[in-house]
Structure formats: C-alpha cells, structure tokens
Amino acid sequence: MSRLVLVILGKQGAGKGTQCAHLAAHYAIPHVSTGDILRAAVKAGSPLGREVSSVLEAGGLVSDDLVNRLVAERFEAPDAQRGALLDGYPRTPGQATALDEILGEGGVGLCLNLEVANDLAVARLSSRRVCVECGAIYRDADPEGVSGTCSRCGGDVVQRSDDLPEAIAARLALYERDTAPLLDFYDRRGLLVTVDGARDADEVSADIIAAVAARGLA
C-alpha cells in the first residue's frame, strides 16, 4: 500500500476519536492529533518542543508556522511512513496548503467529514466524563465511570468545564465558522467525502473504508 493520509473532520461529538482508533488499527497507520503532537514535543524537550513550551507558558497561541513544522516533523517518524489519520489538523485552508507542501507527491488521499446534528453532538458531549490522569473517556451511563474512578488507572473521572452545555454551544459555533472554508478547500479538489456520523460506530467505519477503497487508496 502506498502512503495513505486521511484528514478526519467533524464537530466536537461527531466521533472522530472513535473512528480514528478503528481506522488506525485497520490500516496500521498512526492517529495523529494536534494536541498529541504538542504534548509529545513539549515532553521530549526537542527544539520545537521548547518553542511550543515557551509560547504556552506565556499564555499565547501556537502559530500556524510552528504547528506546520511539528506536523512535518511527525511525518518523518518511522510509523508515519505508511501514512496517518490527521485529527485536528489542518484547521484552516492555509494549514491545508502547508500540508500539501509537507506531503509532496500523493498528498492527502481523502478528507472525511463526519456529519452529526448539533443536538446529537451536545447530547454526546454533555454525557462525557474524562479521567484527569490518563484521559480515558466514559459516558455518564457507563458503569465503569459511575464511581468517579477510572477503571484503567484509578484517576478521578470528571466532567470537563468545556463539556458543559454553554461551552459546547460556543465550541460548535466556532467550528461552523472556522471549518466551512476547509470543507470547501477539499471539496473543490474532489477530496471531500461526507459520512453520516450519527449511526453505529462500526457502520460509520465501514462507510469510510468503502470510500477509501472506491478511490483505490487501500
């Protein structure tokens, strides 16, 4: 298989994390999220990581240029030579153009947009509980999370402040504003595939895998 790079888009609560886990296992390529890249760079103390750390410590926002350089560095890693699932990057047409330059020939195979209605996204997010130690995700109806203790590491399971209804509404509005141009960017290139993310996770994965196969990408 040639290098397979898939951009995964979708509002908060669309199921991007679940799908990336399924697809990473199916295609044997890494799930690469912007947050993970930033944390890994800071932890490693690399030159880029020190730049990120200084920006964050000063309360600033990591620039597009710095994020692009981190992504380029991530694609140099051995596990990304077969490709990657990109989650949270690119966020803008400018970053998408930079990604084309990073990848060179072949570029992005497909941009997959997981579409869900806002009310479903709100319901999913407001029921989410997260372990403060390891990041494991639970639902408020999940027996494992009822005790408030993570079954994986023993950490506290809490509802994050950005999963409260008011915060969710603000995040969804921001997503709609910022992502529309990116959807247009990939649509104009014939690379956008929209998938109904409201269904069972396995059904969504099957649709994505079929869309990738239909393009002869895997």
- Is residue 43 flagged as an active site residue? no
- Is residue 91 flagged as an active site residue? yes
pLDDT at 142 over 70: no
Q: Which CATH number fits domain 4-30+77-214: 3.20.20.70, 3.40.1130.10, 3.90.25.10, 3.40.50.300?
A: 3.40.50.300
Cα dihedral 203, 14, 117, 96, rounded to 10, equals -110
pLDDT at 144 over 70: no
Cα gap 64→80, rounded to integer Å? 21
Cα gap 97→103, rounded to integer Å? 10
- Is residue 69 flagged as an active site residue? no
For the chain, give every domain's residue range: 4-30+77-214
Q: What is the band of 141 on the pLDDT scale with cuts at 50, 70, 90? A: low
Is residue 47 reached through a cis peptide bond, with omega within 30 degrees of 0 on the bond before it? no
Catalytic one among 11, 124, 128, 129? 128
- Is residue 74 flagged as an active site residue? no
pLDDT, position 98:
96
* Full-model pTM: 0.81
**Tally of CB atoms within 10 A around 174:** 12
Catalytic one among 50, 139, 152, 160? 160
CB neighbours of 115 closer than 8 A, spacing ≥ 6?
Answer: 10, 14, 194, 195, 196, 197, 198
- Is residue 139 flagged as an active site residue? no
Percent of the chain past pLDDT 70, that is, above it, reads: 96
Backbone angles phi, psi at 117, to 5 degrees: -70, 150
pLDDT, position 218:
81
pLDDT top residue among 2 and 79: 79
Tens digit of each residue's pLDDT (9 = 90 or more) over 169-191: 888 888 888 888 999 999 999 99
Catalytic one among 16, 69, 124, 129? 16
Q: What's the half-sphere exposure (Cβ side, CA atoms, 13 Å) at 59?
A: 0
Q: What is the mean pLDDT of the chain?
A: 88
